Amino acid sequence: MAVIAVVAVTQALVAAVPDADAILKQAFDNYRAGSSSTSVAMTVHRTDWERHLDLRAWTRGQDDALVRFVAPAKDAGNATLKLGRDTWVFNPKLNAVIKLPASMMSQSWMGSDFSYNDLAKSDDIITEYTHRLLATDQAGGHTVWTIEAIPKPGAPVVWGKVALTIRDDYVVTEETFFDQDLKPARRMQTDRIATLDGRPYPVTMTMHPLDAPDQWTRIDTSDGRFNVSVPEYFFTLSNLQNPRQ
Amino acid sequence: MLLALAWRNLWRRPQRTLLSLLSMAIAAALLVFMLSFQLGVYATMKESTLRIVDGYAQFQPDGYAADPGLDRTIAHPEVLLADAISIQGVTTAAPRLNGFAILANGERSFGASVVGVDPAPERKASSIASMIRNGRYLDATDGDAAVLGASLARNLQLAVGGKVTLLGAARDGSVAADVLRVVGIYHSGIPELDRSILEMPLSRAQDTFAMTGRVSTIALVGASLGAVNRALPALGSLARRNGVSLLDWGALEPALRDALTLKYATTALLYLTLVAVVAFIILNTLLMSVLERTREFGMLLAVGMQPRLIGGMVWLELLALALAGCAIGLAIGAAITAWFEYRGILFPGMGDLLAQFGLPPQLYPTLTPLSAFIGPGAILLSVVIGGVVPYLRVMHLTAASAMRSP
């Protein structure tokens, strides 16, 4: 009886004064779930051109991901597989799988404003940073938390600081990346939140590199299923090169 | 009259005069040789460094140097290329496409610069063609050919005849992918270069990187760096007409320019010290001879010679001494320099070190009017200016007191 009471009190306290680590973890779980399967339209905007790409993405746990481009024809078939810390790319024209050297991980991914690092180290924000709740505000009928993430000493990350705002339904609404001099370098904004497979989800997000005002990459997630069983063979090199339908 | 007197005075003490002459001659000869050597080596250093890839000057799209990328290009460069080589002093204009890609061979992959080059002008613009260790350089008929640095080839475990896979981002954001055949492997001795650059034919690179009709930069080369530097004004107005930027050698290799400037500054200090020491030795000697002759000058004053004329005579003695010393030094220095300019100076065992700076194992001084005259000129000038001291001393003499001095 006493134990139950203590647990209840503790839970109440946790709910009242949320912990930055827990918020972030929850937001990440909401975004990625145990596994996920999504359809994404990506728009890469540049001063003199704009490209639209369609892709399918599958994730498993926190570490594994497979992304396959399906349109336009010029890019269809290109695929990226991430297993743990390793990343491979498949190019249909070459019909070859290439393992990305570590030195290339900061390069642009498919000409977008995302780097391979964004793909590969997506849960770094949880594991490699310490988190602090900076502010709790009310906006649009929601509680919005502002969390500051500072890399742990010696963490293998490129940013000096990351600032996030997260809504009380655990959707990240804004994420700003600061360089080592703590100057803001790029900002990911959530433009639209909708219900996807029963959960609130940032269906439209835009990445803005802050040194190039007329340049951005937008991703629209149109179809998503979470905690579905993705077959084991999905996350293999042979499936990367020869996809089974 | 005064000059004849001065000249005769000098030879009243032949030993002292000869020693003074010798010290000045040695200093002047040293300066001539050291300056010629320094200027010669620096010129070689600049030219050989620039000849590896940069060229003596470059046309680049505006803003390219600060933020290079495939989105900054020179479109349809044919007319610009033709106009550039029609300018006096420019012999070659080599268009290039500078891309970046992952190079892979089986399990192995590395990031590297991929440079699309036009083989014919590139052979003349860059010394990479002459650094081919295995195989051959690119030629005009090549399609899927590539040459790459020795370290890069070793890292990728590639030999001549092997295939290298290239994967990068094209100008339009699509995937740039290609498979090339290795036809040659170059070894420059510069580690950074040998592990980071692959060259392929320009037209193929333009297809691969969605850069049809476009290039990233144009390297300009002439008979010498000086010739291209003299052509800079004409090149600059050509660049403005075509809406591109012109970068001179210092802008292409700012680190080299700064290193040379620093080197000039530190060696200038050394040369100044040498000039000052020699000037003081000579002045000291002459001041001694003036003091020794105080009685004699008193006598001259007593018989009515003006102090101004006596001072002038002493000053002329100094001038004659300095002129003779510097002339002898100049002749000796020029002769030594000319000999080494013909023979070259070999630094045994330093070949690898020199190669890192893009230098040949044999170094040559270059005798130029500047390097020949600046050292002796500085000695002459400082001695002539320093001559004011004995002149003033003589001007202050009075007949009575001077004649009473011991």
> What token pair was written down for B237?
């107005």
Residue A13 is predicted with a pLDDT of 46
Angle among Cα A92, A93, A99 to the nearest 5 degrees reads 60
What string of DSSP letters covers B264-307?
HHHHHHHHHHHHHHHHHHHHHHHHHHHHHTHHHHHHHHHTT--H
Instruction: Give per-residue pLDDT as tens, A216-234.
Output: 999 999 888 888 888 888 8
- Residues B78-98 have a mean pLDDT of 93
> What token pair was written down for A6?
């203590």
- Whether A90 and A241 have beta carbons less than 8 Å apart is answered as yes
A91: nearest CA in chain B?
A: B177
Interchain pair B175, A78: CB under 8 A:
yes
Task: For chain A, positions 33-62, list CB contacts with chain B under 8 A.
Answer: 44, 46-49, 51
Which segment of A17-21, A93-97, B194-198, B238-242 scores lowest on mean pLDDT?
A17-21
Which chain B residues are closer than 8 Å to A68 by Cβ?
none
Which segment of A17-26, B63-72, B113-122, B266-275 scores lowest on mean pLDDT?
A17-26
Which chain A residues are closer than 8 Å to B107 by Cβ?
99
Residue B74 is predicted with a pLDDT of 93
DSSP, res B216:
S
- Residues B50-57 have a mean pLDDT of 91
* Minimal CA separation from B51 to chain A, in Å: 28
Does the complex come out with an ipTM higher than 0.85? no
Task: Quote the percentage of chain B above a pLDDT of 90.
Answer: 51
Q: Cis (ω within 30 of 0) for the bond into A153? A: no
Beta strands in B23-84 (DSSP E): 57-61, 74-75
C-alpha B40/C-alpha B51 separation (Å) is 16
> What size, in residues, is chain B?
406
* Minimal CA separation from B77 to chain A, in Å: 20
Of the candidates A49, A89, A103, which has its C-beta nearest B172's C-beta?
A49
The ranges of chain A with pLDDT < 70 are 1-17, 120-122, 244-245
Instruction: Give per-residue pLDDT as tens, B323-367.
Output: 999 999 999 999 999 998 888 887 777 777 777 666 777 788 888
A87 touching chain B per CB within 8 A: no
A74 touching chain B per CB within 8 A: yes
Round the average pLDDT of chain B to a whole number and report it. 89
For residue A187, the Cα-to-chain-centroid distance in whole angstroms is 13
Task: Look at the alpha carbons of A90, A96, A99, A103 in this order and tell me if their dihedral is positive or negative.
Answer: negative
Residues 6+ apart with CB under 8 A from B311: B390, B391, B392, B394, B395
Which chain A residues are closer than 8 Å to B209 by Cβ?
none
Closest by CA position to B260, among listed B362, B188, B190, B357 = B357
Residue B348 is predicted with a pLDDT of 75
Closest by CA position to B94, among listed B222, B256, B232, B234 = B222
Beta strands in A72-227 (DSSP E): 79-83, 86-91, 96-99, 129-139, 142-151, 161-167, 172-178, 184-196, 199-209, 216-226
Residues 6+ apart with CB under 8 A from B302: B399, B403
Q: Please indicate whether residue A84 or residue B183 has the higher confidence score (pLDDT).
A: B183
pTM for this entry: 0.77
Interchain pair B173, A110: CB under 8 A:
yes
Instruction: Give per-residue pLDDT as tens, B106-143.
Output: 888 899 999 999 999 999 999 999 999 999 999 999 98
> What token pair was written down for A179?
């360089």
> Tokens 């107005």 correspond to what residue?
B237
What string of DSSP letters covers B332-396?
HHHHHHHHHHHH-EE-TT-HHHHHHTT--SEE-----HHHHHHHHHHHHHHHHHHTHHHHHHHHT
- Whether B9 and B321 have beta carbons less than 8 Å apart is answered as no
Q: At what angle do helices B14-52 and B369-386 cross, to 10 degrees?
A: 140
> Tokens 């320099």 correspond to what residue?
B337
Which chain A residues are closer than 8 Å to B169 by Cβ?
107-108, 110-111
CB crowding B82-98: b at 16 or more within 10 Å, else e: ebbeebebbbbbbbbbb
Which segment of A5-19, B145-159, B189-203 scores lowest on mean pLDDT?
A5-19
Residue B406 is predicted with a pLDDT of 65
- Residue A187 has φ and ψ, to the nearest 5°, of -140, 130
Residue A30 is predicted with a pLDDT of 83
B357 touching chain A per CB within 8 A: no
Interchain pair B167, A110: CB under 8 A:
no
